[in-house]
Structure 1
Amino acid sequence: MKRFALILLAIGLLGGCASNNDSPNELVNADVAELYEDAASAMARGDWETATRDLESLQAQYPFGIYATQAQLDIIYVYYRAGDVASTVAAAERFRRINPRHRAVPYTWYMQGLALEEKNQDTIKRMVGIDNTLRDPVPRRQSFDAYATLVEDYPDSEYVERARERLNALFGEGARFQLSVAQFYADRDAWVAAAGRAITVINEFPDTPAVAPAMDLLANAYRNLGLNELADGVIAEKATLPSRGGEGVPQMPGIYEGEEIDVPPAPRPDEAPQREAPEPPSNVL
């Protein structure tokens, strides 16, 4: 009986001691909240390096809970603003893999599309007038796929309208790229290849300003191949097109003669010609 009473006394003393101190969970919550607030403050002042460090540290030390989820979401935006395209895409894919049913999944697709669009941006080449659409088409196709996934799978998302606008722009850029390749072949008297690319523009990119110059180029290619009747048919068909301002045939710079070229590193944050990116949705507060 005495032994049982001593056990109850010990339990009571332990309970009293615990009530006078914060529990381990409370301490952890305070620490992670402070770390997140530091990251949020860095984001607010545009200090992307500090925000990246704090958010990466938070995810490493506290991989579970609402702060971890928000950090996974915030770091997509931070990487984008820092001009780190590869990390932006990787973070977006990681968020969807961990949180496949989260309400912010459409946002991650939109941010992935934005980052991939800007992979080809280059301040110096833009300043000297080199058309960005003449660059490597692979990131542009990947960006198109990201926006298309958002529009098709999340039609009620608030980001759908912006994604549709970017899809239309990318469609036009794709037409201009194919047209520039066709002109590249024509300039070298590779008329069969030039005709093939011109036909691609006409068939795959209808209702874009690139169609009319593509038809001119196709007719010229046919004449050089001795196919005058086909050339006349193309000119007659062009006359039926709705009147619209054409963009002409962009000239392919010699350094971009290959269709698939290496993409340079992303520009520095202060150089990146970034489009407006929405801040990540919040689910912490």
Structure 2
Amino acid sequence: MRYSHIITGLSLCVALLTGCASQDKPAIPDKPAAQLYTEAQNALSVDDYQRAEKYLEALDNRYPFGPYADQVQLQLIHVYYKRNENEKALANIDRFIRNNPTSKALDYVYYMRGLTNMAYDYNFVQSLVGIDRASRDPSYSKAAFKDFKIILAHYPQSPYAADARKRMIFLRDKLARHEIDIAHYYMKREAYLAAVNRAKDILQTYEGSTQTRAALKVMIEGYTKLELPQLAKRSQQVLDAQSKSS
């Protein structure tokens, strides 16, 4: 009986040690970089982003200066974006820009940063029910707007430039709506100077947005309340000119 207890105890220890050893095994076995890269490409070819992420991360960690390093980082950015891992995507993007300031892929990287910042600001449920989200914190939309602006300013011939321009128009109107909401809030609180300044910022920063007329109306009313008739008249003239041209 005594020996049977000892044998049972040893068997349990062996089982526990075996279990721990199996848990310590890496999810991706040690393979040459070329094999890991092939596995990652096979996963990407069938949109298996979860599997692709594991192989790409293994490559990135084990062969950070290997022949596939830059391509792996670029593909990781894409995979993180597809898997809604926005923090990882932005971290990889910033690392790539920092380490590759002259890369020919920078237009793609800035484009992906814009998409990722937009994804941060996206709420699927609210978009389904048609809730206007212009009143939300616009920090990620502003960051995305700047990212797309970089593409148009520095990479106008980029294949991503046309889509970046469309997204800028969308973001411009969204950010302008956010600003006009704040301007209207200031008007209700009788903070007329603050309201006028917000409206002026819309005209300067988001020129051509759908909120231009609303901004001019705020300026007219605000200047009138501030007893600045000349400025109110000038704003009215601009509004009238826009009405005639539209």
Aligned equivalent of 2:88: 87
Indicate if the aligned counterparts of 1:40 and 1:51 stay in contact, CA closer than 8 A: yes
Superposed CA offset, 1:110-168 (max 9, x none): 11111112211112332343323332222222222222222333333222222233233
* Number of equivalenced pairs: 217
Structure 1 SS opposite 2:134: helix
C-alpha displacement of 1:243: 5.2
Aligned-pair identity in percent equals: 31
Aligned equivalent of 1:191: 192
Aligned equivalent of 2:163: 162
CA distance in 1 between counterparts of 2:40 and 2:135 reads: 38
Amino acid at match of 1:104: A
Relative distance call for 1:130 and 1:191 in structure 2 (3 A) is farther
Q: Does 1:113 align with 2:114?
A: yes
Q: TM-score, normalised by structure 2?
A: 0.76
CA distance in 2 between counterparts of 1:166 and 1:244 reads: 26
Aligned equivalent of 1:38: 39
Relative distance call for 1:60 and 1:206 in structure 2 (3 A) is closer
Aligned equivalent of 2:151: 150
Gaps in structure 1 of 5+ consecutive residues: 1-28, 246-285
Relative distance call for 1:243 and 1:88 in structure 2 (3 A) is farther
Superposed CA offset, 1:87-108 (max 9, x none): 1121122223333333222211
Structure 2 SS opposite 1:132: coil
Larger relative contact order (C-alpha < 8 A, sep ≥ 6)? 1
Indicate if the aligned counterparts of 1:209 and 1:244 stay in contact, CA closer than 8 A: no
C-alpha displacement of 1:229: 5.7
CA RMSD of aligned residues (A): 2.6
Relative distance call for 1:152 and 1:196 in structure 2 (3 A) is closer
CA distance in 1 between counterparts of 2:70 and 2:98 reads: 12
CA distance in 2 between counterparts of 1:140 and 1:71 reads: 27
Structure 2 SS opposite 1:121: coil
C-alpha displacement of 1:222: 3.4
C-alpha displacement of 1:56: 0.7
Range moving further from structure 2, 66-75 or 187-196? 187-196
CA distance in 1 between counterparts of 2:164 and 2:217 reads: 32
Relative distance call for 1:128 and 1:192 in structure 2 (3 A) is farther
Gaps in structure 2 of 5+ consecutive residues: 1-29
Aligned equivalent of 2:13: none
Q: Does 1:213 align with 2:217?
A: no
Amino acid at match of 2:123: D
Relative distance call for 1:129 and 1:221 in structure 2 (3 A) is farther
Amino acid at match of 2:75: D
Which has a greater percent of helix? 2
The within-5 A match list for 1:1-285 is: 31-227=32-228, 230-242=231-243
Structure 1 SS opposite 2:241: coil
Indicate if the aligned counterparts of 1:121 and 1:132 stay in contact, CA closer than 8 A: no
